[in-house]
A and B are shown apart, each in its own frame.
Chain A
Amino acid sequence: MELLNRAISGTMESSDIMVEIIPWDKDLEINLKSDVKEQYGKQIIALVKAILDENGVKKACINLKDKGALDFVISARVKTALYRAARRSQ
C-alpha cells in the first residue's frame, strides 16, 4: 500500500486509540503513549507492526495515543488510518 498523505483516525476517549500515520523516507518509527504501556506496550506495537507488514508499509511514522483500546479496536483504527493515508476506501 502506498501512503500518499498523513492521516489520523480514532479518538482519545476511554477504550479507544488515536492513530496518526505520517509517510516519510525513513524507516518505520512507532511512538506509543499509553497508560498501560508497561503491561501491554509490546503487545500493542507488535499488533500495529503486523498490520503494517500485511499492507507492505515500511516507511512511516506512526503515533499512537492509546486510552486502553482492545486489540480489535486498535486493529480497526490502524487500518482506517492506513486507508485514509493511501486515499483508499477499502
Chain B
Amino acid sequence: MFDNFSKKYIYSQNTRGRKTTSDFLKTLGLSFDENVNITINILDGKRIIATASAEKNLIKCIGVDENYRSKGLMNTLISEIISHQYDNNIYDLSIITKIENEKVIQSLGFETICETENIILMENNKNKFKKYLENISKNKVANEQSSAIVMNLNPITKGHMYLIEKASKESEQVYIFIVSEDKSKVPFETRVKLAKESTKFLKNVKIIEGGDYIISSKTFPTYFSKNVDEWINNYCNLDLKLFGKYIAKELNIRKRYVGKEPYCELTSFYNKKMKEILPLYNIQVTEIERLEKNQKAISASLVRKLAEEGNISQIKELVPEATYKYYISKED
C-alpha cells in the first residue's frame, strides 16, 4: 500500500460512513446496497478512492475511482473482505460481476461457476456448487418427469396451496424450492415448517431448501442504479441458467410452475424471462392464474399486512391451518 492511502472499515450502524460510500459509488454510476454488513474503503487522504462490501458470503458494491485503477486496489479490498469474513466464520465467497472482470477476479482465486452473455458468477471454493448439487440430488424421487416451483412462502397462503395442489395433480412429482434468504418477516425455518405441515397430505410434493443458488427475483442485488433494466435482465438470465442447466437436471425437472403476477413488475418480467429461457433446457413453464378472494389475489404480503395490523381473524380464510395457528401462537 502507498503511504498516504489508508483503509477504513464501515459497519452497518455507521450511517454517515455508508452515506459517503453511497455518494462515492454514485459517481461511478453504481449505488449502495443497504443489505451489506461490512464495507471496506480505501482512502487517499480523506477521499474514498475504492470500495467493496459484503453481505454474508456475497461480495458486492465494488468500485474503484478511475484515476486509481491498475494499482492493485481491488487485490487489497478483496483480501480485506476475505480476511474479515473469515473472522466471522464465512469462508466461501461469491461474486457476481460483469464478464469483463473475469480475469481480474480469477487472479484473486475465484473460479467461474456460471456465465451468461454479460455477467458471471464466481466463487473462491469450486467445490461449493458441486456439493450443493449433490445435496439437491439427495431429494430425488425416482421418476422421469418432475415439476418444480420456486417460492418464498412468506408465509404459505391458500394462494400458494392452490398452485401447489394444481402442480401436484398434474405431475408425477413436485419439488418446491423455498428461497432461503432471510430478509423475510417470517423466519426461514418457520417458513419451511409451515410449508411442510401444509403440504403433508400431498404425497408427491417435496419441500427443498433453496440454498445459495436459488436466487428468486426478490433477492437480486439492486445496486446497479445505472441501467437497472439491463442488470435485472442479466440476473434473470443467470438465475434461470443456474436453474435450468444445473439444478433442474439433478431432479429430472421438466416443468416449472409459476403464479401469474398481477402486481409486481419485476416478478412479471422474471416470469416472462422464464418462459423464454427454461425451454432451452427442455423445461416447460406453466403460468397459473392466482387464486382470488373478493376480487383480490391472495398474497403473502396481504397476510403479513393483516398480521401487522393485528387482524388475525381475517387471516384465517387466506391461509392453511398451520399458518393460522402460527399467527395465533405468536399473539399469545
Do A and B truly interact? yes
Instruction: Please give the residue numbers on chain A whose beta carbons come within 8 Å of chain B beta carbons, in ascending order.
Output: 6-8, 10-14, 18, 33, 35, 63, 65, 67
Set A6, A7, A18: member contacting B79, Cβ < 8 A: A18
Q: Which residues of B contact A67 (CB under 8 A)?
A: 75
Set A11, A33, A63: member contacting B75, Cβ < 8 A: A11
Contact of A12 with B79 at beta-carbon distance under 8 Å, contacts A18-B109, A65-B108 already known: yes
Which residues between 52 and 101 of chain B lie within 8 Å of chain A, taking CB atoms?
72, 75-76, 78-80, 82-83, 86, 91
Could you give 16 example pairs across A and B, Cβ below 8 Å? A7-B86, A8-B83, A11-B75, A11-B79, A12-B78, A12-B107, A12-B109, A13-B72, A13-B75, A13-B79, A14-B72, A14-B75, A18-B79, A35-B107, A65-B109, A67-B75
Beyond A8-B86, A65-B109, 7 additional pairs, beta carbon < 8 A: A8-B82, A11-B76, A12-B75, A12-B107, A13-B1, A13-B72, A65-B108
User: Do the beta carbons of B91 and A33 come within 8 Å of each other?
Assistant: no
Q: Which residues of A contact B75 (CB under 8 A)?
A: 11-14, 67
* Nearest CB of A to B75, in Å: 5
Q: Which residues of B contact A63 (CB under 8 A)?
A: 109
Q: Which residues of A contact B86 (CB under 8 A)?
A: 7-8
Q: Which of A7, A8, A12, A33 has the most CB of B within 10 A?
A: A12
Set A6, A18, A35: member contacting B82, Cβ < 8 A: A18
| Measured CA separation A65–B110 after assembly (Å) | 10
Q: Which residues of B contact A65 (CB under 8 A)?
A: 108-109
Query: What residue of chain A has the Cβ atom nearest to residue B86's Cβ?
Result: A8
Q: Which residues of A contact B83 (CB under 8 A)?
A: 8, 11
Query: What residue of chain A has the Cβ atom nearest to residue B74's Cβ?
Result: A12
User: Do the beta carbons of A12 and B91 come within 8 Å of each other?
Assistant: no
Q: Which residues of A contact B82 (CB under 8 A)?
A: 8, 18
Q: Which residues of A contact B107 (CB under 8 A)?
A: 12, 35
* Nearest CB of A to B128, in Å: 13
| Measured CA separation A18–B81 after assembly (Å) | 13
| Measured CA separation A6–B78 after assembly (Å) | 19
User: Do the beta carbons of B91 and A6 come within 8 Å of each other?
Assistant: yes
Q: Which residues of B contact A35 (CB under 8 A)?
A: 107
User: Do the beta carbons of B79 and A33 come within 8 Å of each other?
Assistant: no
| Measured CA separation A18–B110 after assembly (Å) | 13
| Measured CA separation A63–B1 after assembly (Å) | 24
Query: What residue of chain A has the Cβ atom nearest to residue B80's Cβ?
Result: A11
* Nearest CB of A to B273, in Å: 35
| Measured CA separation A67–B108 after assembly (Å) | 9
Q: Which residues of A contact B109 (CB under 8 A)?
A: 12, 18, 33, 63, 65
* Nearest CB of A to B84, in Å: 10
Query: What residue of chain A has the Cβ atom nearest to residue B125's Cβ?
Result: A63
Q: Which residues of B contact A8 (CB under 8 A)?
A: 82-83, 86
Q: Which residues of A contact B72 (CB under 8 A)?
A: 13-14
The 8 A-B residue pairs with the shortest CB-CB distance, nearest first, are A11-B79, A65-B109, A12-B75, A12-B79, A8-B86, A13-B75, A12-B108, A14-B72
Which residues between 282 and 325 of chain B lie within 8 Å of chain A, taking CB atoms?
none
| Measured CA separation A61–B92 after assembly (Å) | 15
Query: What residue of chain B has the Cβ atom nearest to residue A10's Cβ?
Result: B79
Q: Which residues of A contact B108 (CB under 8 A)?
A: 12, 65
Q: Which residues of B contact A12 (CB under 8 A)?
A: 75, 78-79, 107-109
Query: What residue of chain A has the Cβ atom nearest to residue B79's Cβ?
Result: A11
Q: Which residues of B contact A18 (CB under 8 A)?
A: 79, 82, 109
* Nearest CB of B to A44, in Å: 15
Q: Which residues of B contact A11 (CB under 8 A)?
A: 75-76, 79-80, 83
Query: What residue of chain B has the Cβ atom nearest to residue A8's Cβ?
Result: B86
* Nearest CB of B to A41, in Å: 16
Query: What residue of chain B has the Cβ atom nearest to residue A31's Cβ?
Result: B109
| Measured CA separation A63–B91 after assembly (Å) | 12
Q: Mark B1-41, 1 if CB is under 8 A from A, else 0.
A: 10000000000000000000000000000000000000000
* Nearest CB of B to A82, in Å: 15
